[in-house]
Amino acid sequence: MNYQGTIIEESLDDKSSVLKQVKILSTKVEAVVEKHQTPWLKQRTLHKVEILDQRAEAIAKALSLALENTHHSWYADYKNSTTHYIIFPNKIFKIDRQSKEQYRKAKEYGIALGIPGYQVDFSPEIK
């Protein structure tokens, strides 16, 4: 079963390499506001993506290496009905969507990196 998620283009050091490996379903550009905590950016480009099941691991590894972490810690994520990949720079969580404990660990990790808590609410109930 394929995965869907969002990749913020500005979060990537090498924007083209990872984005070329996924199917972009839609793109939305939004203005950056104070809540985003990225004052060096004027906008964010959010790509809704689809990732083939057989490519999920490889894309997770590529994203983990491509995420920029100079200014800010970023993450990307994608999921299907059973599995949720949450990818940070140099760290990948492959989560069983029924496991609140696995989600808790990913959230704690993200907060430890300085990502605001509201941005790492990976509750399994979220579609």
**Which tens digits make up the pLDDT trace of 82-118?**
999 999 999 999 999 999 999 999 999 999 998 888 8
SS (H, E, C) 92-126: EEEEECCCHHHHHHHHHHHHHCCCCHHHHCCCCCC
Tell me if 123 is assigned to some domain.
no
Write the CB contacts of 84 (distance below 8 Å, at least 6 apart in sequence). 77, 78, 93, 94, 95, 97, 103, 122, 124
Tell me if 126 is assigned to some domain.
no
- For residue range 72-92, list pLDDT tens digits in order: 678 999 999 999 999 999 999
pTM of the shown model: 0.89
Q: Across-strand partners of 51?
A: 3
Tell me if 94 is assigned to some domain.
yes
Please tell me the total count of domains within the chain. Answer: 1
3-state DSSP percent of the chain in helix, strand and coil, to 5: 35, 35, 35
Tell me if 19 is assigned to some domain.
yes
Tell me if 21 is assigned to some domain.
yes
Cα angle: 16, vertex 70, 52; to 5 degrees: 35
Tell me if 125 is assigned to some domain.
no
* Residue 38 in this model has a pLDDT that exceeds 80: no
Parent domain of 25: 3-117
Tell me if 36 is assigned to some domain.
yes
Tell me if 47 is assigned to some domain.
yes
